[in-house]
Amino acid sequence: MRSMKSGMVVASVASLLALAGCNLDQSPKPAASAENGVTVATVNGTPISKSRIDMLLAQGAGQGRPDTPESRQAIIDQLAMQMVIAEEAVKKGMDKLPEVTERMEMVRQSILATTYVQDFMKSHPVTDEALKAEYDRLKATVSGSEYKARHILVEKEAEAKDIIAKLKKDVGAFGKLAMEKSKDPGSKARGGDLGWFDPSRMVPEFGAALSKLEKGKFTQEPVKSQFGYHVILLDDTRPVEAPPLEQVKPNLTQQLQQQNLKKQLDELKSKAKIEIVAAAAPAPATAAAAPAASAASGAK
């Protein structure tokens, strides 16, 4: 049973999380405010809170950055420099520039959207009943058979025919012949054993020949594929079974969370009044591209 990978919704949410450390307001604040908690440094009277350092370290932990005194000091130095520069920008009135205010509003909306999604996921956990129902539904779709087989791969048809002739006299020699003759490095050392597999994973010629074999029988003619000539022995077959619930529970839970989130976001979008006033115009052709396009048109 394959687990569903995270969709576009979660991918966009993950990108929003990276914005959580941005400073939206660089105006001076009281040296120690209750909402920011413990102050670890101040820059011209504006505090840098311990909670902000902790948040940035938590984000860096996912990238393997350790929480050490040195890393904390490095973050404080970086934030202090950022605040000094931001204050200078405010003095020059850059915080009032249209492009700046628009970007700040975009960041604010991104953080709010991320916070909403995180709260929704936390307040709407996947229930055991929903998990069991989805597992049973997917389990019912599992069908087909798995095969356990061995093969010997050689370069020339004559070699394969010679092996088949030897197997007709002694099928028990298959493993020894595979170790001596097979060109397949993955199975040669195991006597040609391929283990259990879905025949659809194999090249079509191999799968077709395998499906015609009876248990304990081998192909009476060489099977040609893009890799060479195969001699195949079918050891056993069994029905495909779904893995146990506990094995797929983490991925299945994540899948249901994504479905619930998408349903909620689709509902919010359906209730919103969204009007596309004008589609974005395509980028104009560069000066260098324009003559080339004209020349190509003339050649036609």
Q: What is the pLDDT of residue 27?
A: 38
Q: What is the pLDDT of residue 10?
A: 36
Q: Dihedral of CA 169/172/174/180: which sign?
A: negative
State how far the Cα of 126 lies from the Cα of 279, in Å rounded to an integer. Answer: 39
The domain spans of the chain are 8-123, 128-136+243-270, 144-239
Q: What is the pLDDT of residue 287?
A: 47
Measured torsion, CA atoms of residues 222, 226, 227, 231, in degrees rounded to the nearest 10: -20
State the 10-residue block means of pLDDT for the chain, 300 residues long: 37 36 39 60 93 89 85 93 96 95 96 96 95 94 92 97 96 96 95 94 94 95 96 95 93 96 96 85 57 39
Within a 13 Å sphere around the CA of 5, how many CA atoms are in the beta-carbon half?
A: 2
Q: Which CATH number fits domain 144-239: 3.20.20.30, 3.10.50.40, 3.30.1120.130, 3.40.190.290?
A: 3.10.50.40
> pLDDT for 116-133, tens place per residue?
999 999 999 999 999 999
Q: What is the pLDDT of residue 37?
A: 73
State how far the Cα of 300 lies from the Cα of 280, in Å rounded to an integer. Answer: 30
Burial class (CB in 10 A: 0-12, 13-18, 19+), 71: middle
Do 245 and 135 contact (CB within 8 A), yes or no? Answer: yes
